[in-house]
Structure 1
Amino acid sequence: MGNLRLFIHRAGRYYGVVDHLPNSLRVVDWPNYPLQFLPSNLIPRELALINMPRSRITVFGDGYKNLINLTSINLRGCQYLIKVSDLSGSTNLQRLNLDECENLVEVHCSVGFLDKLNDLSLWKCRRLKTFLTEVSWKSMRKLRLPFCKRLKSFINIVHRMESITYLTLRESGIKELQSWIGCCTSLEVLYLDGTPIKQLPSTIENLTSLRVLGLSETPLTELPSSIGCLTSLVELDARQTLIEELPSSIGNLTSLRELKLSKTPIKRLPSSIGYLTTLEELLDVSETLIEKLPSSIGNLTSLRELKLSKTPIKALPSSIGDLSSLIRLNASETLIEELPLSIGNLNRLQYLSLRGCANLTNVPHSVYGGLQHLGELDLSWCPKLVTFPSRVSGSVSSSAESLPLMLSTNSNNGHHHPGSLLFPQLRGLRFKGCKLSVSDFLTNLDCVYTLFGLNLSGSSFDSLPACISNFHQLLYLDLSSCKRLRDISELPPNIYDIKLDDCVSLERFSKLSNILEQKDTPGSLQRMKLSNCNRLMDNLGMDMVSKMAKALPYQLVHAGLDRHVKCWNLMLPSLPEIEVPKWFDRGEMDTSVLPGHETRDIYEILIKIPTNLKAERIGLVVCVVFEITKDFSQDSNSCFVTVVIDKKEYIDNARHYFESKGRESSAHDHVYVCLTCIAFKELEVVDPVVRVIFQVNRLGAKGLLLKSFGVHLASMKDDHVSGEDLARERYRQSISDQVALDAEGATVASLVSDDTNSWEVHDDHHDGEQDQEQELEPLLPTKRFKDSARQTNVGRSMLAFLRCFGSTTC
């Protein structure tokens, strides 16, 4: 082995001592090196790279003085390392990684004079108290000392460091930044976040190449006026500092794209803020003492996000409408009383939050026709907003005043100019605890085909507004804490998740009743929260879980031939009756439960199905009841199921999301019930063991305890409808819907057509043998019908157009 150049030891274990290493060796790659030292008389003279992370070495450097070929040392995570000795002979050393050497207390001063060293990292060296006091680094580019909490002093004397581009002292104990920092003219990134530094040296003005400056969570009370010399600065983060005022020179930062000032005692923004025309990503002044925005803010025409939440701002300047690039505006929990008329000019705005604006009373009529791209709107907890401006035609002058007129309940029945649309692209609406008329507001919206999330929690209606069924794409509906809600008779057709927790007066839920009685299929509905809905539970019967388990096979058969797994997720009160149905587990199958193998797995159930049964006629219903313990995470979490059949995974994509915040009763007063139906259908099952894995979406999630589980062997054969019949019925229904749409579009087109007889279609080419096919397929168009078909397209377009303006009902 005299010519050995590369030594890699990554697997296996080593016992004994190292008594020989050939001098020809260039690379030592030995993670988890088990010995406390490497004998200095055995160190190869040609060594160029040492990679020994997580080793047991206690002292490094003795015997390394003359390793002139050494270029890289990686000792990351060496928990026993306490000292780095003399490296003066390693004149070609370029990289030294000492990250997470948590017991390291000393680095030899020779490291400060290694001319070719360009990368030095001591991240999380928590016991390091002293560092180099004098350095001369000709080549240094990256210096990292974050989270060195005990390190109080930093470099005092710098002879050379003109090449450094990246310096982070984040969360270290360093109290002062010396004036030599001004010599680092190539510095591009400087992180001082979380340090006890109270003042920046005036020489910081020399850092004309600086692009990122992090000052958050420091006791800084002011920014020097020389800050305006940093003309290359792109990001300035001064969050949670003690800065009370920005210097007017802030307007000289002509390259700034992101400015963060949240949680500071700043009381005003200088008018020079308007010169930051490149400010693009973010202006964050949330949780400050700012009472008024300067009108010059309207000059920030490139700004895409503005955060004003939790400030005492009482009004937005009219110039806010000049922010033509603004996408997100968060003005939640402010003292704003009304929005300016110019708010309607924000044509690119996609997110608007007015949550918790307790004084908000008026919304201008300019929201009609304006805010055409708004996708998310939060009007929760605005108790004084009891009226909303009525729909106005596009002919109303833009100078008209904002009027708090009540909505007209039949506003969708008139013809409206395209400029009068109200939020046509809205996808998410939060209306929690709002005193506006929910029915009137929803009726007036023009987003029936785009809205997919609606939060009406805390509303005071007795029954769900009928107009909610018009929102065809609505998937998520939150009705929690609607104390007066008694009846839910109609739901949107594609609803997927509904939250009804703490609806204490709820007595009737027609959709759920029909599902349990197998009069209806759930369709897309797969998740429900019924915590503290005691009246509803009494009416439905405490055997609700049993009824649902019986309905699942029926549902999966009607779901079509492409589904093998269907899940139902329920959050129910923790009552003795809420349990796995007693008719489960009749000894038909062997089952066992295992703890999860992966980080996100919580439990795994193994099911051995009988081999003498025909797979296409059987299925499994798995019922699992989880107890939600006191260790349950307070953050949102979700659980989902993966079924493994013959090493192939099948996922229903149904996830149950848990949110315990804001609940009147504690989370551990409830249980999570997961019902999973598995249909083998045409699968040729080779391995009789089926795995059902319960997983969470977040690492380290806890608080779900398996209370009980059961497995039932179910028949997947529908006595009345075969899979082929179901497929044919779905095809017939799709054709019927298409013909109905054509007819409806044709009716509308006839309103605008000059030829009143154009819809008379004569087709004399059918014979008796074709009558049966005509029930399943549309008629082939004649030439005259082709002309009508073209007008049908016009009719469809016109119909969609009129629907948007509420002139026709669905």
Structure 2
Amino acid sequence: MALKELPSSIGNLIGLENLHMNNCENLVCLPGSFCKLKSLERFYLKGCLRLEIFPEIMDTMERLYELDFSGTALKELPSSIANLIGLVYLSLNDCENLVCLPDSFCKLKSLTTFRLHGCSRLEIFPEIMDTMERLYELDLSGTALKELPSSIVNLIGLVYLSLNDCENLVCLPDSFCKLKSLERFYLKGCSRLEIFPEIMDTMERLYELDLSGTALKELPSSIGNLIGLTRFNMNNCKNLVCFRDSFYKLKSLEIFNLKGCSRLEIFPEIMDTRERLYELDLSGIALKELPSSIGNLIGLTRLNMNNCKNLVCLPDSFCKLKSLERFYLTGCLRLEIFPEIMDTMERLYELDLSGTALKELPSSIANLIGLKYLGLNNCENLICLPDSFYKLKSLGRFYLKGCSRLEIFPKIMDTMERLFELDLSGTALKELPSSIGNLIGLQDLTLQNCENLVCLPNSFYKLKSLSRFYLTGCSRLEIFPEVMDTMEWLKDLDLSGTALKELPSSIDNLIGLTHLNMNNCKNLVCLPDSFYKLKSLLCLSLCGRSNLIVKNLFTTVGGRLVNQKDPHGLSSMKQLDLSESNLENLPTTIKQFQLHELILRNCKRLKSLPELPPSLEHLDAHDCTSLEDISSIKNLFKQALFCHDRPYQSLVLDFSNCFKLGDKGVGNDIDADDNTSLEEVSGIKKVLKQALFCNSLGWLFTNCFLLDQKAASGPETPKLEMPFEHMVTLLKDYHQATPESKKRNIIVTCVPGSEIPEWFDFKSVGSSMNIQLPSEWCSNNSWINFPSFVASAVVSVPDSSYTGGEFDITCECHLKSRNGDNDCFSSSSSFSFGSRLSDHVFLVYDGFKVREIVKSKASNNRIYIEATFNFYLEELDSSECEVKQCGVHRLFAN
């Protein structure tokens, strides 16, 4: 509200219990009669940004127990605050002008919670001249305090004390240890605090202490008096150089974090067994070794030493950590030897040695009988693995990615049922052992960029559980082994960048194969006849292949059409990627495939498109710079099956950067000025109507400059104007349809152009506009008559050096009702452009959001009278672009 003050007569509301004035940003004062509200229990003034003075409280108020001044402009509290004798909760969070507190603060005997978080000008906390038994929570985080008064000990009931991010704090009182009720003490980010006080007496209840980011160099020897401490955090204490031996006295400690203490070189001896400590984080510290007494941490379950770059060895006593479950040593660049494991360790299930300097693992690694995860990624010095590897019967995941000196994988002397993922990418392997078939549970096998790999074992087919097999970049692999038996589970096979010349005829034994990638297989010359028996194949990628291979795909060796003799051949294939091929034309037989997605990106020589499969949902012809004729796409709209059998059907046609694509290439029947008959125009309306009832329609002609709506060389009526008008006409019919017949419909299109189409009802320069809605829009409270909107924007690039990129266009609409209420919805679409971007016109429709918001409000008799539209460019590289014009076209059902 715009309220600036309360009347003095407010005191007459003698029965008032709750007074809410949050976010009254214009409020500047409160009346002195406030204290007459004897029944008041809760008073909220949060966010009253201009309130600088709180009135004197001239009489006691027993019932007021909750008072919130958070975010106000108060500079101080009156000393008469003590008259709030029943106050339990007091919040002054983010009162950035507050400079002092009254000494009478200690008289608030009922106070339990006092919050001063973010009071960045508060430098002094008042002396506490009398005991306060009930105050259990005190939050001073982010204040300007340099110290606490020694009288803080009078807060005898204090349980929670936070001084996080008090960057001026330089000391703590010696009396700190007398806070016998204290349980949680937070000093995170107190970057000037160099000394922690001696703890002269035991503190039984303090269980959590956070000193992260402080300037401490050491801890007092009396730290052992924190006998109840369970969680101790010293992350990023970059000045910490030593740790007292008395550490071992912290018998209750469960979690100890020293992550990022980059000057800490020595970890103290553990003089006695410790059962409770279960988590120890030493990552990023300067340790060279661990003490042999580390074995006394008999309850330790998690040990993190990631990025301990000075660590050179581990103690032999490591194997005594019988409770250890997870051990992380990633990035320990100087660790060359892993200790012998002299006894079995049943519980250790995760061991990550990635990025270490290990040359080998000890054969005793087999004693890790519970190991499930073993990471050795980027161990560039690793040259061999122990023969005992196969004894790790519990192992499920084994990662050796980037072990560039590893030339031999050990024989697997017995079956391993549980290993389901093996990553050997970037190793120096020349072959795999024939015993690889003993990995009977293997599901994922990755050999990407194994540039020395020349062959695969014939036993490959024995991997009956294999689901994904990746050989991308194995540039010396010339032969794929015969598949001697059926493999039902192999779904994904990636042979991209290999030196294969052909596939074996037995490839059809991969009866479950759904995804096959053969991008950039430059030596591949043919596909076997049996290839067409891959009846489960969904996605085939032949990116970068020659014209010969593509034609071979669509015909048998004898030249017969695929579907004439074998109507079920490749019948399941939904996605085909022929990007970067040197095709000039696609075979006409492509229409016989049941494709949903056809990717033709960067086919620089492609000139025309044949009739395409009626099932097609996505055609990507980005950067097909020679493409001139796409008139066949009109047939995609003529399929009666198009929208009715699949409830989530969509159609996206992307011809971005098809610089030669002109009006004739789009099809003369879309040009109403070239003697197009009425029947043809009617046909366009019919097929567009079918498309409009799909889930989404994308019609993208980005950078197709010959289609510019206002090209200087073409004074005639813009060629694409007509289908746009048809589209809007049909949207009106769609808007009028019954709700049950509608799906969520999104339409996006773009073409080169610099002006909003003439038929738009409203146009404006810039990125925002305001329109009035007719008051009679709602008859009989029927929300269906409310108008939907087609939005349009012209995006310009003022700098011709724009290098291209991606951005989102968001149209945000604010609806204002007759009673002053506001509702908002927005629609966004993503676009990408090349470096030749000029002005483009975008058209966006999403009627679903309008319908839903109006439908939900209709029962409240909410009549909308005004709509404000704002257009934003967001995401990548949008800073150089701007919305130059915008427009809105209303669609009414009647």
| Normalised TM-score (structure 2) | 0.63
Q: Please tell me whether residue 520 in structure 1 is matched to residue 636 in structure 2.
A: yes
User: Following the alignment from structure 1 to structure 2, what is the Cα–Cα distance between the partners of residues 628 and 271?
Assistant: 66
Q: Please tell me whether residue 561 in structure 1 is matched to residue 652 in structure 2.
A: no
The residue matched to 1:88 in structure 2 has which SS? helix
Q: Which of residues 9, 16, 29 in structure 1 aligns to 2:115?
A: 29
Q: Which of residues 147, 150, 164 in structure 1 aligns to 2:253?
A: 164
Q: Which of residues 445, 453, 456 in structure 2 aligns to 1:352?
A: 445
| Normalised TM-score (structure 1) | 0.69
Q: Which of residues 276, 281, 296 in structure 2 aligns to 1:206?
A: 296
After superposition, the C-alpha distances for 1:397-422 in whole angstroms (9 at most, x for unaligned) are xxxxxxx997568767xxx7xxx335
After superposition, the C-alpha distances for 1:55-94 in whole angstroms (9 at most, x for unaligned) are 2323235321343322211222333333333312212211
Structure 2 gaps, min length 5: 1-83, 488-498, 555-561, 563-568, 613-618, 620-628, 643-648, 673-680, 709-749, 778-783, 816-822, 855-863
After superposition, the C-alpha distances for 1:782-810 in whole angstroms (9 at most, x for unaligned) are xxxxxxxxxxxxxxxxxxxxxxxxxxxxx
- Relative distance call for 1:575 and 1:708 in structure 2 (3 A) is farther
Q: Which of residues 737, 741, 756 in structure 2 aligns to 1:584?
A: 756
- Relative distance call for 1:475 and 1:31 in structure 2 (3 A) is farther
Q: Please tell me whether residue 309 in structure 1 is matched to residue 484 in structure 2.
A: no
- Relative distance call for 1:316 and 1:66 in structure 2 (3 A) is same
Moved more, 483-492 or 551-560: 551-560
User: Following the alignment from structure 1 to structure 2, what is the Cα–Cα distance between the partners of residues 459 and 628?
Assistant: 39
The residue matched to 1:135 in structure 2 has which SS? helix
The residue matched to 1:198 in structure 2 has which SS? coil
Give the letter aligned to residue 678 of structure 1.
Y
User: Following the alignment from structure 2 to structure 1, what is the Cα–Cα distance between the partners of residues 166 and 653?
Assistant: 48
Deviation (angstroms), 1:153: 2.4
User: Following the alignment from structure 1 to structure 2, what is the Cα–Cα distance between the partners of residues 196 and 633?
Assistant: 45
Deviation (angstroms), 1:562: 6.1
Contact 2:762 2:889 in 1 (8 A): no
Moved more, 377-386 or 674-683: 674-683
Moved more, 364-373 or 258-267: 364-373
What corresponds to 1:706 in structure 2? 881
What corresponds to 2:361 in structure 1? 269
Matches within 5 A, 1:702-741: 705-708=880-883
Matches within 5 A, 1:166-185: 166-173=255-262, 174-180=264-270, 183-185=273-275
Q: Please tell me whether residue 379 in structure 1 is matched to residue 466 in structure 2.
A: no
Deviation (angstroms), 1:163: 1.1
- Relative distance call for 1:707 and 1:387 in structure 2 (3 A) is farther
User: Following the alignment from structure 1 to structure 2, what is the Cα–Cα distance between the partners of residues 549 and 344?
Assistant: 63
Matches within 5 A, 1:38-187: 38-41=125-128, 45-46=132-133, 47-86=135-174, 87-110=176-199, 114-125=203-214, 127-136=215-224, 137-158=226-247, 160-173=249-262, 174-180=264-270, 183-187=273-277
Contact 1:200 1:223 in 2 (8 A): yes
User: Following the alignment from structure 1 to structure 2, what is the Cα–Cα distance between the partners of residues 68 and 196?
Assistant: 40
Contact 1:591 1:607 in 2 (8 A): no
- Relative distance call for 1:68 and 1:713 in structure 2 (3 A) is closer
What corresponds to 2:858 in structure 1? none
Larger-gyration structure (1/2): 2
User: Following the alignment from structure 2 to structure 1, what is the Cα–Cα distance between the partners of residues 705 and 269?
Assistant: 65
Matches within 5 A, 1:691-702: none
Contact 2:500 2:523 in 1 (8 A): no
User: Following the alignment from structure 1 to structure 2, what is the Cα–Cα distance between the partners of residues 185 and 50?
Assistant: 33
What corresponds to 1:678 in structure 2? 845
Q: Which of residues 275, 279, 285 in structure 2 aligns to 1:189?
A: 279
Indicate the structure whose relative CO is greater, using CA pairs within 8 Å and at least 6 residues apart.
1
Matches within 5 A, 1:465-480: 467=553
Give the letter aligned to residue 881 of structure 2.
L
Contact 1:85 1:107 in 2 (8 A): no
- The count of corresponding residues between Structure 1 and Structure 2 is 668
After superposition, the C-alpha distances for 1:545-590 in whole angstroms (9 at most, x for unaligned) are x999999998873235364x64456886999979742463436324
What corresponds to 2:601 in structure 1? 500
- Relative distance call for 1:575 and 1:648 in structure 2 (3 A) is same
Give the letter aligned to residue 756 of structure 2.
F
Contact 1:209 1:233 in 2 (8 A): yes
Q: Which of residues 308, 314, 337 in structure 2 aligns to 1:245?
A: 337
The residue matched to 1:296 in structure 2 has which SS? helix
Give the letter aligned to residue 239 of structure 2.
R
Matches within 5 A, 1:398-437: 407=502, 420-421=509-510, 424=512, 426=514, 430-435=517-522, 437=524
What corresponds to 2:557 in structure 1? none
Moved more, 215-224 or 570-579: 570-579
User: Following the alignment from structure 2 to structure 1, what is the Cα–Cα distance between the partners of residues 686 and 411?
Assistant: 59
Matches within 5 A, 1:758-797: none
- Relative distance call for 1:488 and 1:625 in structure 2 (3 A) is farther
User: Following the alignment from structure 1 to structure 2, what is the Cα–Cα distance between the partners of residues 638 and 487?
Assistant: 32
- Relative distance call for 1:540 and 1:524 in structure 2 (3 A) is farther
What corresponds to 1:538 in structure 2? 660
Alignment root-mean-square deviation, CA: 5.0
Contact 1:373 1:425 in 2 (8 A): no
Matches within 5 A, 1:448-487: 449=536, 451=538, 456-459=542-545, 464=550, 467=553, 482=580, 484-487=582-585
Moved more, 515-524 or 1-10: 515-524
Give the letter aligned to residue 660 of structure 2.
D
Deviation (angstroms), 1:520: 2.6
User: Following the alignment from structure 1 to structure 2, what is the Cα–Cα distance between the partners of residues 113 and 549?
Assistant: 90
The residue matched to 2:660 in structure 1 has which SS? helix
After superposition, the C-alpha distances for 1:180-207 in whole angstroms (9 at most, x for unaligned) are 3765442111111111111101100111
The residue matched to 2:303 in structure 1 has which SS? strand
User: Following the alignment from structure 1 to structure 2, what is the Cα–Cα distance between the partners of residues 70 and 411?
Assistant: 77
The residue matched to 1:559 in structure 2 has which SS? helix
- Relative distance call for 1:325 and 1:689 in structure 2 (3 A) is farther
User: Following the alignment from structure 2 to structure 1, what is the Cα–Cα distance between the partners of residues 418 and 832?
Assistant: 34
Give the letter aligned to residue 581 of structure 1.
G
Contact 1:24 1:44 in 2 (8 A): no
- Relative distance call for 1:672 and 1:52 in structure 2 (3 A) is farther
Moved more, 458-467 or 353-362: 458-467
- Relative distance call for 1:79 and 1:518 in structure 2 (3 A) is farther
- Relative distance call for 1:643 and 1:120 in structure 2 (3 A) is same
The residue matched to 1:526 in structure 2 has which SS? strand
- Relative distance call for 1:62 and 1:145 in structure 2 (3 A) is same
Deviation (angstroms), 1:26: 2.5
Identical pairs, percent: 20
Q: Please tell me whether residue 335 in structure 1 is matched to residue 439 in structure 2.
A: no
Deviation (angstroms), 1:36: 1.3
Q: Which of residues 220, 224, 248 in structure 1 aligns to 2:315?
A: 224
User: Following the alignment from structure 1 to structure 2, what is the Cα–Cα distance between the partners of residues 132 and 40?
Assistant: 26
After superposition, the C-alpha distances for 1:3-59 in whole angstroms (9 at most, x for unaligned) are 333323447776563212213322212322341121114675222221232223232
Give the letter aligned to residue 163 of structure 1.
S
Structure 1 gaps, min length 5: 396-403, 595-604, 659-666, 718-810
- Relative distance call for 1:650 and 1:6 in structure 2 (3 A) is closer
Give the letter aligned to residue 353 of structure 2.
L
- Relative distance call for 1:672 and 1:36 in structure 2 (3 A) is farther
After superposition, the C-alpha distances for 1:578-622 in whole angstroms (9 at most, x for unaligned) are 97424634363245766xxxxxxxxxx668598699989986364
